[in-house]
Each structure stands twice: as C-alpha cells, then as structure tokens.
Structure 1
Amino acid sequence: MKTVVILGGSYGGITTAHKLLKQSASTGDVKVILVSPNTHLYWNLATVRAIIPGQIADEKLLQPIAPGFKQYRADQFEFVVGIAESLDLAGKKVTITSKTGTNVLSYDTLVLATGSHTKSNAPWKAQSTYEETRDQLHDYQSRVKKAASIVVVGGGSTGVETSGELGFEYGKTKKITLIASGDHILEGTPASVTKTATKLLQNVNVTLKLSTKVVGDAKLPDGRTELTLSSGEKIVTDLYLPTNGLSPNSSYIPTELLNNNGFVVVDEYLGVKGHPDVWAVGDVSAVQRPQLVNTLKHAAHVAKNIGLANKGQSLVIYKTGGGDMLAVPVGRKSGTGHMGSWKLPGFMINMVKGKTLFTENLPKTIDGSA
C-alpha cells in the first residue's frame, strides 16, 4: 500500500483525497494522510455576504472535515491536524507541528494543496483554527454593523461582490466606497460585463473611485482608519476592507521549487518539476490564477495522474485551454459575468450563484459527493 500525504485541508486537498480514495476503492492500494491546520472547512466563497450580520449561519460556513471520511476504512485514511513546517524531498518526509508537538510523516507521494492567504487581516481566508476563523468572522460582522462608512479596496470579483453586498444591505444608510487601481472594475473581463457591474454597484449606492491606489493606511486612536490615496488625498473610514493581494502558503517548501512570487512551479502534468512523486493543486500552484473552479480541476487531474503513476502507466497532460468563466453576484438579486467572450445574463448569475453562494456544496465537498 502506497502512502499519499496531502498537505492542506481546504477545497483542493479534501477533493484530491476523496478522488484518490474512491479510485482505489477496489484495490485498496493507497492510504491517504490529509494534513490540515484547521479541523473545519471554511466556505470562504460566501464571506462576501457572511460579513453582514444575520445573513449566513456559522454552520453553513464552517463544518468539520473528519466526519466526511468515515466512509473509508481506518487503514485507508488518516486525518492529522497540524501545520507543515518543512520538506525533506530526498528522504520523502514532511515535518508537521501541532498542539501536541512535532511529527514526521513519510510518504510515497506528496500533494501540495496548502492554498493561499490574504496580505491583510481581512476575513477572506480561514485562520489557523476553527475558533479563530469563527471569531474573526463574528468580529467583522460586529464592525460592519457599527460602521457608518466602509471602504472596500480591490476591483476584482471579491471587491465587487463585497461592495455589492454591502450596498444592497446598507446603501441607503452607510457610505460604501469601492477603490480600484484600474480605470474600470473587473479587469480582464469583456467591456459589457464591466459596464454592467459598474451600473449595478451604482444602483445600490456604492461610490467608485477608479484609477486610485491606497498607498498607506493608519489606525487612528478612535479605531477608524486613515487611508492615503495615490492622488495624495486622505480619507477616514470606520471600516477598511482590502480584498486585493493573495500570497501562497509555501513557506515550508524549498525555494528552488518556487517562482519569484512564491508559487510552486509545475510541469504539464501538474507534477513538481524534478520531483516525480510530488504534485501541486490549487492556489499554491503557479499554473493558473487562484479560483475554485481551477482548484477542483487540478484535484481531479492530480488524483488521476497519481493513479496512473502507481500503475506504471503514461500520465495525462493538463490542459488550461478554454474560455475563462466568471460569475459575480452584485447584491442578493442581481449580478453579471461571462463565459469566454459571452456575457451571462444577471438572472442566471443570481440563480446559479447569487442565491446561496454555493453554500449547499459545503457538506458535499467534505464527504466527497460534490
């Protein structure tokens, strides 16, 4: 039986684990050890709405990981709560630290699925523990409720969705501002999508400041934040929500495996170059932009290639082609998006994503039925 150690207990790691276990169910030739710093999976796709008090219950955002794997035999699966500290690629070992101390895991195959984190203390990613993640979310809910003015920074999908949710709920009672560095929001999308998103934000009273960067932020004694803008202007806000800037969780990975931005360099099979038994999935990988749909594609592909490698068969090349797809709800009743060059209608965005932000897929992801 070969041991596959998967580092990372979020979308990519959990999905890869289930796919490996299911495809080896008949042979039982694989044991998966899933390592996660967190006992729970955090459905962070819904954070843009969850920061608004009373919108989404905690249990729809955070659910324990371990119960989803009880369907497998004890000798097939092990869940380790801990953080990867270092890799010994020659010795095929991973050093893990946890509340109980240091542990060294040996592997035949290693999957790097440790994801990314925000450069700020914003609530868009899970914290180190379930309790810290839950408490941070509650703290932001309280701060959103109390704030008379909120500044969201970043013109990507997270920034647009966040300001849209805030505008939908509070546009008539709070001052909501979205700051974007480009001359339009949702850069890289068709012009019609940008135009629609801009109009939808304006409809819920969100003020847009384009071609503007935040070059400094300072906490004031009264708890508010003073932002210095690239224009030289200074503005003061009750709540500052930066949404731009993700960094890979790759500090434990030898630098020779990383590009200049800290992402893992992979080959055409999604294997780590020069190390045929090491693979990378999701945000930590340099192959595509961080996006859930890409992470799930990586997970399926890596699981398939690990199975082929274990059988001594030829690996399958990962294809990144095909048009990009983006769905951006703006508030709880409208939105915009595109598939390739085709703009998607707002009712479709709302029906497919906007109503629930896919929270119904949280338990399905944990138990592998998604």
Structure 2
Amino acid sequence: MTSTPHIVVLGAGYTGLTAAKLLARRATVTLVNNRDRFVERMRNHQLATGQRLRDVPLRDLLRGTGVRLLVDQVTRIDPDQQQVELASGAEPVRYDLLVYALGSQADLDAVPGAAEHATAIADAERAARLHERMRTASTVAVVGGGLTGIEAATELAETYPDRTVRLVTGDTLGPALSEPGQAHLYRAFDRLGIRLHEHAPVAKVAADGLLLESGEHVDADAVVWTTGFRVPQLAREAGLAVGDNGRMLVDGTMRSVSHPDVYAIGDAAATHRPDGRELRMGCGPGGLAAACAVRAIGDRMAGRTPRRLRVDFDGQCISLGRKDGLVQYAGSNDRPIGPMLTGRMAAMVKEGIVRGAGGLGLRHPALALVAGSRALA
C-alpha cells in the first residue's frame, strides 16, 4: 500500500458518508453511490405520509473535504485486481483499501406475493410510492412488529385518522422491549386506533390483503412490508467471506476476515458483540462500527495496533407519530437499564437523534469519533 492510500467507499448512507469524510483527512478517498442525494432513511416513514424532508445533495455535504464523488451503481468487486466495476461502463475504480457500506434493503422475497403486492419503505422511492397509494387506500396493513413496522404504523395512523391501519406480526409487538415498554406501545396503538394482529405469521400477500398461516384473510388495500432485511450480494459474489445472511464477516476492527484490504461497516457487516452475538442492523450500531473502522485504518497506517469494537449496551429509540415516542436502553444481557422515557419528551429525543445523525453528525463527522471511542476496547 502506498504512503497515501486510495480508499474507495461504497455507499453514502449514514455510515459510508461519515467514514468517507473522516478518512479523507489522511488519504485520497473516492465515494461511490447510486444517487446524488443523501437519504435520511430514518425518516422514510415520514416520507410515506407525505411529510416534506430536507433535500440534501451529497456534493454539499462533501464540499471542502476532498472526497471525490462518483454517482454510479457498483456491479462487481474484483478483490484480486483491487477494483470495483460500475454500471455506467466507466473505467473500473482501483483501490488500496475498500470500505463496504452498502447497507440493507427490505426482503420482499421472503413470502409469496410480497414483491408484487407489498410496498417497502426501506428506500425513499418506495416510501414515496406508498404516499401515492395512500391517496386511495382506505385500509393499510403493516407487516412487522419491529421498530420499522411500529414507526410506520403509528405515523400512518396519526396522519390518516380516517383510514383503518393494521399491524400484523408473527411475534409480539416490540419483542425487544421490556414489559413496561410494550405496555406503552399497546396504549399508543389503542389511542391511534391501530388494529393489532399478534402471533399471526403471513403466508401470502395478495392484491386484496394478507393470507395468514392460520388460514385467516386480513383485508387491506395497501400492504407495507417492514419485516426482514437483506444485504447486497456483491460481497458474496466477489468471494469475500460472508455469513449465511450475506453480511460480510469482519473482525473486531471491521476488517474482512478473508481480505485484509477490505473493511465493512453498517448493515452489510456482521459485527459481533463481546459475547459473540451479531450486532443488530441500525444507524446506532452502524455509527459505532464506522468510527471503529476509521480509527483502525488510521492506526494501521501509523503502525499502531488498533483497538477493537466493544458494544456493551444497546438502545431502542422509537417514534410513535410526531407527539409520542419511547426510549429504552439495555445492557449487554439485553435487560433494560436506566429509566424508560415516553411521551413528548421521548419524541423530542428521537427527533434530536435523527436531526443529529442526518445533519450535524454528517457535517461534523468528528463527533462520531468522539462517540465511538467509548465503544472501543
């Protein structure tokens, strides 16, 4: 590797953009993304209800950083030649180090009919299509009782109080939450008039709703799919070590276990907690991983031994419409720690986190290093 390496970052989501800006302070950086705008993915449920979001050109966020932006789709990674190939047919982009931050997308192939009849909100285009669909839909069924499903259902119910909103989940509502946390969710659902179907796995999605494994049919004019996420197959196709779910296998410094010139961060990386459990997908864990990778790359360039990621706690920060929310933290054993925050204050905290991640944090990425330093061992 040259004294000033060329680092290619794939993906300009929260983690990829943060990593690219930080790495540009010590290396030549090329950022490859399939669009020229930054997408606040944590606000897609708001986009689905027609709320206006900030238009943030990537070039504005990168101005003055020295990062070279390529707006193109990556079609292949060639780790032997250390290059990535692009859909436009432009010359392959060579790298000394590669940072893989391509994120995740909704798994619409998990159940028959979902790809044809359901709408995911994991990307901005589909979230916008759901808004158009809601102009005529009188009943909408949200499939999935995790954070994305909860936020989508509550946002839709608050925005469209004259429509019927259902949430269908194969588990309980908010299974990662404590009993008091789940109780608050139930109260919020009652207040918003959301019809809840728990322990109701979906067997098929049709044009007129859902067929449950029990044989019951759930009517719906529109179906929102929020259960199950998958990652791009580029890493697997390139021969990089991946897990069964396709996430790239990395060590405690976010470096590929099979290719030492490749790092992976965010949803596309299989990062593990000290007890061996895989770190969940999400902006919070992804931000810690990005900070860890940037520090590890800098340490290795300077001849130092990098520190490893150590995440001893996690948190659930959920918006329940614009006026309610829930914030709860958990220790390494997944048991809740500290007080649970609900109501308007929790909604304000969640809004502050989202604003920070999509605004101040991206314009001043050094904040991510400060926050991430607490998660390094």
Length-normalised TM-score, structure 2: 0.84
8 Å contact from structure 1 (residues 63, 363) kept in 2: no
Residues 304-340 of structure 1 show CA distances to partners (whole Å, capped at 9, x for unaligned) of 111111112111111122x221111212211223111
8 Å contact from structure 1 (residues 114, 250) kept in 2: no
- Match of 2:31, SS state, is strand
Which of 249, 257, 265 lines up with 1:273 in the alignment?
257
* Corresponding residue for residue 18 of structure 1: 21
* Corresponding residue for residue 358 of structure 2: 362
User: In the alignment, residue 42 of structure 1 is paired with which amino acid?
Assistant: V
Tell me, in whole angstroms, the C-alpha distance in 2 between the residues paired with 1:263 and 1:312: 29
Q: What are the equivalent positions in structure 2 for 1:1-370 lying under 5 Å apart?
A: 1-22=4-25, 24=26, 30-53=27-50, 56-58=51-53, 60=54, 62-72=55-65, 76-98=66-88, 101-120=89-108, 122-126=119-123, 133=125, 136-171=126-161, 173-182=162-171, 184-219=172-207, 225-253=208-236, 254-287=238-271, 288-321=279-312, 323-340=313-330, 341-342=336-337, 343-354=340-351, 358-359=354-355, 361-368=357-364
- How far is the alpha carbon of 1:116 from its aligned partner? 0.7
- How far is the alpha carbon of 1:257 from its aligned partner? 1.1
- Match of 1:327, SS state, is strand
Tell me, in whole angstroms, the C-alpha distance in 1 between the residues paired with 2:153 and 2:245: 28
8 Å contact from structure 2 (residues 209, 222) kept in 1: no
Could you list the runs of 5+ residues in structure 1 that have no partner in the other structure? 25-29, 128-132, 220-224
Higher relative contact order (CA 8 A, sep 6+): 1
User: In the alignment, residue 277 of structure 1 is paired with which amino acid?
Assistant: D
- How far is the alpha carbon of 1:252 from its aligned partner? 4.7
User: In the alignment, residue 197 of structure 2 is paired with which amino acid?
Assistant: K
User: In the alignment, residue 68 of structure 1 is paired with which amino acid?
Assistant: L
- How far is the alpha carbon of 1:229 from its aligned partner? 0.7
User: In the alignment, residue 318 of structure 1 is paired with which amino acid?
Assistant: L
Tell me, in whole angstroms, the C-alpha distance in 2 between the residues paired with 1:361 and 1:304: 19
User: In the alignment, residue 64 of structure 1 is paired with which amino acid?
Assistant: P
Q: Which runs of 4+ in 1 moved over 4 A?
A: none
Tell me, in whole angstroms, the C-alpha distance in 2 between the residues paired with 1:126 and 1:102: 26
Residues 94-137 of structure 1 show CA distances to partners (whole Å, capped at 9, x for unaligned) of 22222xx242111111100011111236342336xxxxx3xx44
- How far is the alpha carbon of 1:36 from its aligned partner? 0.6
- Match of 2:234, SS state, is coil
Tell me, in whole angstroms, the C-alpha distance in 2 between the residues paired with 1:276 and 1:357: 33
- How far is the alpha carbon of 1:179 from its aligned partner? 0.5
8 Å contact from structure 1 (residues 45, 357) kept in 2: no
- How far is the alpha carbon of 1:40 from its aligned partner? 0.8
User: In the alignment, residue 296 of structure 1 is paired with which amino acid?
Assistant: G
Tell me, in whole angstroms, the C-alpha distance in 2 between the residues paired with 1:281 and 1:309: 17
Identity of aligned residues (%): 23
The number of residue pairs the alignment matches comes to 339
Residues 132-167 of structure 1 show CA distances to partners (whole Å, capped at 9, x for unaligned) of x3xx44432121132111111100011111111122
Tell me, in whole angstroms, the C-alpha distance in 1 between the residues paired with 2:18 and 2:145: 30
8 Å contact from structure 1 (residues 250, 284) kept in 2: no
- Match of 2:248, SS state, is coil
8 Å contact from structure 2 (residues 120, 225) kept in 1: no
- Match of 2:280, SS state, is coil
Tell me, in whole angstroms, the C-alpha distance in 1 between the residues paired with 2:134 and 2:250: 40
- How far is the alpha carbon of 1:87 from its aligned partner? 2.0
Name the CA shift for 1:313/1:69 in 2 (closer, same or farther; >3 Å).
same
- How far is the alpha carbon of 1:91 from its aligned partner? 2.3
Tell me, in whole angstroms, the C-alpha distance in 1 between the residues paired with 2:247 and 2:235: 12
Tell me, in whole angstroms, the C-alpha distance in 1 between the residues paired with 2:132 and 2:176: 34
Tell me, in whole angstroms, the C-alpha distance in 1 between the residues paired with 2:32 and 2:317: 31
- Match of 1:125, SS state, is coil
8 Å contact from structure 1 (residues 52, 145) kept in 2: no
- Match of 1:257, SS state, is coil
Q: Tell me how large the CA RMSD over aligned residues is.
A: 1.9
- How far is the alpha carbon of 1:44 from its aligned partner? 1.6
User: In the alignment, residue 36 of structure 2 is paired with which amino acid?
Assistant: T
8 Å contact from structure 2 (residues 242, 249) kept in 1: yes
Could you list the runs of 5+ residues in structure 2 that have no partner in the other structure? 109-114, 272-278, 331-335, 368-377
